[in-house]
Chain A
Amino acid sequence: MFKLILRRLALGVLTLVMVTIIVFVGVEALPGDACTAYLGRDTALETKLAKCRDDFGLNQPAHERFFVWAGGALQGDLGISTRRNKPISDLVQIRLRNTLLLGAAASAVGIPIAILLGVIAALTRDRAADLWISTSAIFAMTLPEFISATLLILFFSVWLGWLPGIVITRPDAPVFEFLQDIILPIIALAFVMTAHILRMVRTCVIDVMASDYVQMAILKGVPYWQVVFRHVLPNALLPTINLVALTLAWLLGGTVVIEVVFNYPGLGRLMLDSVSDRDLALVQAIALILAVLYVGLNLVADLLSLVANPRLRTMKV
Chain B
Amino acid sequence: MAVANPANEAPGNRALRVGAVIREMARRPSGLVGLAIVGGHVLLAVISPWIVPYDYTTQDSRLVLASPSPEHWLGGDHLGRDVLTRTMLGGRQALVISGLGTLIAVLWGGSLGLVLGLIGGKVDDVVMRVVDAFMAIPWILFLLLIIAVLGTADAVLIPTLAFFYGISVIRISRAATHDVTARDFITAARARGERMWTIVWREILPNVRDVMLVDGAMRWSWMILAFSSLSFLGFGITPPTADWGLMIANGRSYMAVAPWAVLAPIIALSSMIIGVNLSADALAKTLGIDRAQKAPV
Contact residues of A with B, CB < 8 Å?
Answer: 11, 14-16, 18-19, 21-23, 26-27, 29-31, 138-139, 141-147, 150-151, 153-154, 158, 196, 199-200, 202-203, 243, 246-247, 249-250, 252-253, 256-257, 260-261, 268, 271-272, 275-276, 278, 283, 286-287, 290-291, 294-295, 298
Q: Determine whether the beta carbon of B266 is less than 8 Å from that of A275.
A: no
**CB under 8 Å from chain A, chain B span 252-296:** 252, 255-256, 259, 262-263, 266, 269-270, 273-274, 277-278, 281, 290, 292-293, 295-296
* Chain B positions within 8 Å of A256 at CB level: 138, 140-141
- A82 → B minimal CB distance (Å): 16
The count of chain B contact residues (Cβ–Cβ below 8 Å) is 46
- A272 → B minimal CB distance (Å): 7
* Chain A positions within 8 Å of B137 at CB level: 19, 22-23, 287, 290-291, 294
Q: Determine whether the beta carbon of B273 is less than 8 Å from that of A143.
A: yes
- Report the bound CA distance from A72 to B221 in whole Å: 40
**CB under 8 Å from chain A, chain B span 229-249:** 229, 232-233, 245, 248-249
Contact residues of B with A, CB < 8 Å?
Answer: 129-130, 132-134, 136-142, 144-146, 148-149, 221, 225, 228-229, 232-233, 245, 248-249, 252, 255-256, 259, 262-263, 266, 269-270, 273-274, 277-278, 281, 290, 292-293, 295-297
> Assuming the A-B contacts A14-B129, A19-B137, A200-B292, are A144 and B225 also in contact, with contact meaning beta carbons closer than 8 angstroms in the complex?
yes
* Chain B positions within 8 Å of A29 at CB level: 149
* Chain A positions within 8 Å of B148 at CB level: 30, 275-276, 278
> Assuming the A-B contacts A144-B273, A145-B229, A147-B270, are A27 and B145 also in contact, with contact meaning beta carbons closer than 8 angstroms in the complex?
yes
Pairs A–B under 8 Å by Cβ, sample size 17:
A15-B129, A22-B133, A26-B145, A138-B277, A142-B274, A146-B245, A199-B292, A246-B297, A250-B296, A253-B138, A257-B233, A260-B233, A275-B141, A287-B145, A290-B141, A291-B136, A291-B137
Q: Determine whether the beta carbon of B281 is less than 8 Å from that of A138.
A: yes
Q: Among the listed A146, A196, A203, A271, which residue makes an inter-chain contact with B141, where contact means beta carbons less than 8 Å apart? A: A271
> Assuming the A-B contacts A22-B133, A247-B295, are A154 and B274 also in contact, with contact meaning beta carbons closer than 8 angstroms in the complex?
no
Given A15-B129, A23-B137, A146-B249: 18 more A-B contacts, CB < 8 Å: A19-B137, A138-B277, A145-B229, A146-B245, A146-B248, A147-B248, A147-B266, A154-B263, A200-B295, A250-B296, A252-B138, A256-B140, A256-B141, A257-B233, A278-B148, A290-B138, A294-B136, A294-B137
> Assuming the A-B contacts A144-B228, A203-B293, are A19 and B136 also in contact, with contact meaning beta carbons closer than 8 angstroms in the complex?
yes
